[in-house]
Structure 1
Amino acid sequence: MVAFLLWLLLLVFCWPIALLAIVLYPIVWLLMLPFRLIGITMTAVFSLLGAMLMLPARVLRGRPA
């Protein structure tokens, strides 16, 4: 019986937080989308720069002596 009352107490305290999370999650996702796109772009730029800087070393390493 005590466990059931604890579950009811948890329900009473947590359902507003759960509803708030359901409502706010799409808004937060939309707000974070530009930052994710900037992060993907920066990763691509740094990968390109790294590949360009490592290209001479790969060309020289692959050439027979």
Structure 2
Amino acid sequence: MLTFLCWLLLCVLCWPLALLALVLWPIVWLISLPFRLIGITFEAIFAFLKALLFLPARILGHKA
């Protein structure tokens, strides 16, 4: 709701900038999508490495 109110305020004060933001937002989202996928991949790799490194402790019964 706050985002919508901020956008309406921008539309009233500076409508060309609001229209530009409305048109460019999908393009920015598409450009950022590969970076999000890379971030998800690295997060999964680090979670796997953490699980692999803590495996001996979990086998021996240490509570993490």
What TM-score, normalized by structure 1, do the two folds share? 0.73
Of the two structures, which has the highest relative contact order with CA contacts closer than 8 Å and spacing of 6 or more?
A: 2
Other-structure match for 2:49: 49
- The one-letter code sitting in structure 1 at the alignment partner of 2:16 is P
Structure with more helix by fraction: 1
Q: Larger Cα Rg: Structure 1 or Structure 2? A: 1
Partner-residue secondary structure (3-state), 2:55: helix
- Residue correspondences, number: 52
- CA distance, structure 1, for counterparts of residue 55 and residue 28 of structure 2: 40
Which segments of structure 1 move beyond 6 Å, counting only runs of 4 or more? Answer: none
CA apart distance, 1:61: 1.9
Report % sequence identity: 63
| Matching of residues 8-47 of structure 1 within 5 Å | 11=12, 13-47=13-47
Q: TM-score, normalised by structure 2?
A: 0.74
Which sections of structure 1, spanning at least 5 residues, go unmatched? 1-9
